[in-house]
Structure 1
Amino acid sequence: MMSTAVSAVADPRSPVDPSQFREGMSRLAAAVSIVTTRTAEGCFGFTATAICSVTDTPPTLLVCLNRAASVFPMFETAERLCVNTLSAGQGELAALFGGRTPMAERFAGGGWTTLLTGAPVLDEAAVSFDGWIADRRSIGTHDVLFCEIAAMRWSDAPSGLAYFRRAMRPLTDG
């Protein structure tokens, strides 16, 4: 196994180069999810991998959203969202929500319902976390949305979908 080291800058408090950071982050596997909301203007969604648990009391997730994303204005005022974590066979749907595809076409690519908040819940998701946006923080180029989870639904999907080294990859049990 070969490894590549990146030199640190002279000032230990200075951040690494953004391109080096992105390269390193490409090696941090992450679940692929479609994050959705419903506002007075309709349903909106995007593909995300920057999601993690914050606490179980109260059950809270964080979702990172680039302020340059086409959906940012819709999520900037949203009060609710659903994190729909994808199964291995849903890579095409992730790609659909990850591009500049019109919203109506994105949502035509799957079956949708709702749970408690009214945000769109993907029928075939491995797990869906439906919640209210409790807080927002702006950090660098992104907003971090803290979401208190009000309802959940999961399936018996035998495999998940991960993003690793800039590609979607199936996760299996064995």
Structure 2
Amino acid sequence: MRREEFLTSMRHLAASVSIISAKDSGGKPYAMTASSVTSLSMEPPSILVCVNKSAGIHKALSLGGGLCINILSKHQVDIANLCSSKDQENARFENNDWDNSELPFLKEAQSNIFCKIDQIIE
């Protein structure tokens, strides 16, 4: 990601809700509404994401691959609620909102930040 793209994406973060998405080693997609996403530095571009160990996505992220931070617009309340409900975990990808070609990402998100996991702190 170029510096300007990173800055543009981070400007939206302060007032937005995000959904973290990833796939496990078998290709199963996961998504969760994130309550803690923080920009850490510009050089190198770094972001901190906090994920509860009991979250379904935790195991997929612990493999150390990639993830997407989907920064939502104010019109995406329904998908934010869907991805925050443990009861709806299997229904999160049952619509056309997602592109699942590589890392799953929301096609209509305000911004999509594709990340490589560099470090996991337990």
Structure 2-normalised TM-score? 0.77
Q: Please list every run of 5 or more consecutive structure 1 residues that lacks an aligned counterpart in the other structure.
A: 1-28, 139-174
Q: Please list every run of 5 or more consecutive structure 2 residues that lacks an aligned counterpart in the other structure.
A: 1-13
* Structure 2 CA distance for partners of 1:108 and 1:114, relative to 1, 3 Å: closer
How far apart are the structure 2 equivalents of 1:134 and 1:119? 16
Structure 1-normalised TM-score? 0.56
Alignment of 1:1-174 (within 5 A): 31-41=16-26, 42-100=28-86, 101-103=88-90, 105-113=91-99, 118-138=102-122
| Superposition misfits of 4+ residues, deviation over 4 angstroms | none
Per-residue CA deviations over 1:137-159 (Å, capped at 9, x if unaligned) read 12xxxxxxxxxxxxxxxxxxxxx
* Structure 2 CA distance for partners of 1:55 and 1:114, relative to 1, 3 Å: farther
* Structure 2 CA distance for partners of 1:86 and 1:110, relative to 1, 3 Å: farther
Would you say the 8 A contact 2:22–2:66 is kept in 1? Answer: yes
More helix by share: 2
How far apart are the structure 2 equivalents of 1:91 and 1:110? 16
Would you say the 8 A contact 1:30–1:49 is kept in 2? Answer: no
Cα displacement (A) at 1:127: 0.7
Would you say the 8 A contact 2:98–2:104 is kept in 1? Answer: yes
Computing the radius of gyration from Cα coordinates, the structure with the larger value is 1
How many residue pairs were aligned? 107
How far apart are the structure 2 equivalents of 1:114 and 1:36? 10
Root mean square deviation, CA, Å? 2.0
Cα displacement (A) at 1:58: 1.4
